Amino acid sequence: MVMEKQRRQAADWVYGGVWRVLTDWFKVPHAGDAPTLPARSGEMLKQFRPADGWLRMVKFLFWLFMWIPDVAILAGWIAVTVVLPILGVILAIPALAVAVLPDVFVYVGIHLKYDTTWYVMTERSLRIRRGIWIVHEMTISFENVQNVSVRQGPVQRYFGIADVVVDTAGAGGGGGGKHGSTMVANQGIIEGVENAQEIRDMILARVRESRSAGLGDEEHHGEHVVAATQKLGFTQEHVMVLREIRDEVRGLAKSA
């Protein structure tokens, strides 16, 4: 038990140190420093991260696949040692480093990715922050959303999480590049959340409410039409007074 506690403390200390370096030297935003969106007073503002299930899933996948390169390196090292024992001894430490170091980096990277991924939602828009070396933030207003979908693979289902994909008509499908498939220019991906359906329904409700096609047309088109007819159409009262004016003019014309 004591060992476990010490191990955990050491891990926290190392991870804290990594974060210190990142924030102080590399100016990565602090883990707790969530992005925000300018919201009206009383407007809903939700800041959230991927669910714990996402972290568990990525770690599960990590343990599932990490041994493959390690076993390959071990097999290679054993083969070398059998043929040339001296070379095997010399290569022991480099081989161990090659096998273990990438695993450590990936493992720390998983935690860093989890800690640096943020989603912010208001009633009107969505902001996604991702990335450590290149910090990328994208902002979408729901008015511009073309399509919302939920996707879930079998492993994600086991961990009770899903992705919400929010598409806009923005330029550059596939040209996003820099952050791989999770940072396509016109697509906001809310990765690894437990309430994916709920988020989807919320965004969809907003999209249905909107009367525009999300392509730069004037919002609430219907209201403008109503306003225009009101502008031209007189009320009953106006018509009555106009009739009286007509009658007066007729009377004038007769008496003239």
Question: Nearest 5°: phi and psi at 125?
Answer: -155, 175
Q: Residues 6, 9, 139, 197: which binds another protein (CB under 8 A)?
A: 139
Please spell the DSSP secondary structure of 221-247, one letter per residue.
HHHHHHHHHHHHPPPHHHHHHHHHHHH
Rounded CA separation 37/138 (Å): 11
Residue with smaller CB distance to another protein, 198 or 219: 219
Q: Residues 46, 72, 175, 181: which binds another protein (CB under 8 A)?
A: 175
Contact letters for another protein, residues 27-56 (x by CB under 8 A): xx-------xxxxxx---x-----------
Q: Does 144 bind another protein (CB under 8 A)?
A: yes
Residue 211 CA, distance from chain mean position: 25
Residue with smaller CB distance to another protein, 116 or 156: 116
CB-based contacts of 54: which residues, under 8 Å, 6+ apart? 114, 159, 161, 191, 192, 193
Rounded CA separation 44/58 (Å): 30
Q: Residues 53, 124, 160, 211: which binds another protein (CB under 8 A)?
A: 124
Q: Which residue has the tokens 């073309």?
A: 146
CB of 212 to another protein, least distance (A): 7
- For 162, the token pair is 């899903």
DSSP state of 124: S
Q: Does 233 bind another protein (CB under 8 A)?
A: no
Count of residues interacting with another protein (CB under 8 A): 61
Which region among 13-21, 102-110, 151-159, 242-250 touches another protein (by CB under 8 A)? 242-250
Neighbours of 130 (CB within 10 A): 19
CB of 236 to another protein, least distance (A): 11
Residue with smaller CB distance to another protein, 198 or 223: 223
Rounded CA separation 9/3 (Å): 10
- For 119, the token pair is 């989603």
Site for another protein in 188-217 (CB under 8 A): 188, 210, 212, 214-216
CB of 221 to another protein, least distance (A): 11
Q: Does 134 bind another protein (CB under 8 A)?
A: yes
Question: Nearest 5°: phi and psi at 150?
Answer: -115, 135
Q: Does 116 bind another protein (CB under 8 A)?
A: no
CB-based contacts of 179: which residues, under 8 Å, 6+ apart? 130, 131, 134, 136
Q: Residues 12, 198, 201, 219: which binds another protein (CB under 8 A)?
A: 219
Site for another protein in 75-104 (CB under 8 A): none
Interface residues with another protein (CB under 8 A) are 26-28, 36-41, 45, 124-125, 133-144, 168-175, 178, 185-186, 188, 210, 212, 214-216, 218-220, 223, 227, 230-231, 235, 237-238, 241-242, 244-245, 248-249, 251-252, 255-256
